[in-house]
Amino acid sequence: MAETGQAIISALWTRITTDSTMKSVFDSTVDLYRVMAPQDPSFPYMVHDLQLSSDLFHSTNRYLLDVWVYGANPLVADAAVNRLKQLLHCWRFSITEAGGLVEWFSGGYIQSDHPQVWHYATQWDVRMTATTDITSIVGG
């Protein structure tokens, strides 16, 4: 299951960080860290994690993605979240052993202890189906 989780995270990371619109929102490189950002990262950046259920293919898995921005207003964070919704909501992906669908679940701003730091947390549902199940149903 660890390999499957890493493959899903890799697919998500590639989709988000290579998108030209997201690069424009972030003013060049899209920094997307796994689980925790390094100490004193440059703004803006994102942090993500995938929480896999013990029954990967028959329950909902959760993808957490947080946007962190420094500025006088939340415009960059809002633009990033809007683009994430366009990129990820109803996105179908496939990896070697599975196919999946990502769907928006919830999100919102979280109060920061630092002035002008905007933190928007999102949660996404990730539903998976084993490639062997797809082949059995559809043929191939």
pLDDT digits 0-9 by tens, 84-131: 999 999 999 988 878 889 999 999 999 999 999 999 999 999 998 876
Contact of 91 with 85, CB cutoff 8 Å: no
**pLDDT at site 95:** 86
Is the torsion defined by CA of 6, 133, 127, 95 positive or negative? Answer: positive
List domains and CATH numbers for the chain: 2-138 (3.30.2000.20)
Residue bearing tokens 């990129």: 87
pLDDT band, residue 136 (cuts 50/70/90): low
Q: Kindly report the pTM of this predicted structure.
A: 0.89
Yes or no: say if 123 and 107 are a contact pair by the CB < 8 Å rule: yes
> What per-residue confidence (pLDDT) applies to 82?
98
Cβ contact 64:49 at 8 Å = yes
What is d(CA 116, CA 29) in angstroms, rounded to the nearest whole number? Answer: 21
The string of pLDDT tens digits covering residues 62-92 is: 999 999 999 999 999 999 999 999 999 999 9
